[in-house]
Amino acid sequence: GAVVSQHPSRVICKSGTSVKIECRSLDFQATTMFWYRQFPKQSLMLMATSNEGSKATYEQGVEKDKFLINHASLTLSTLTVTSAHPEDSSFYICSATARGRFTEAFFGQGTRLTVV
């Protein structure tokens, strides 16, 4: 399978600051990347879909000004949590795919964000 790398794996930040999470496809060009969020003991919820070179599509209820997504190249997407608050503390995980090449999406290792 293809490899998706997510960085950092764990981050602690102060309330009010911004945090950037990177998602890279290491051995393929990802036409589409996804960002999910997972609260403790709950399942993954899709936050947004990003296609290279275009604006991300956010799911209902997800604040686009709060969670900035940039998919500037075919191998990199970033999620920036702006003005983080303790309620933003969660596990964030990305996935990437190349439609027409893969029938599945490949997941990063996830990022544990703690806002204090």
Partner 1 sequence: KQEVTQIPAALSVPEGENLVLNCSFTDSAIYNLQWFRQDPGKGLTSLLLIQSSQREQTSGRLNASLDKSSGRSTLYIAASQPGDSATYLCALDTGTASKLTFGTGTRLQVTL
Asked if residue 47 lies in contact with residue 35, where contact means CB atoms within 8 angstroms, the answer is yes
Output 78 or 97, the one with its CB closest to partner 1: 97
Position among 6, 75, 77, 90 found at the interface with partner 1 (CB under 8 A): 6
Q: What is the CA radius of gyration of the chain?
A: 13
Least gap, CB of 51 to partner 1 (angstroms):
8
Encoded one letter per residue, x for contact with partner 1 by CB under 8 A and - for no contact, window 24-63 reads -------xx-x-x-----xxxxx--x-x------------
Which position among 56, 108, 113, 115 is part of the footprint of partner 1 (CB under 8 A)?
Answer: 108
Among 47, 75, 95, 115, binds partner 1 (CB under 8 A): 95
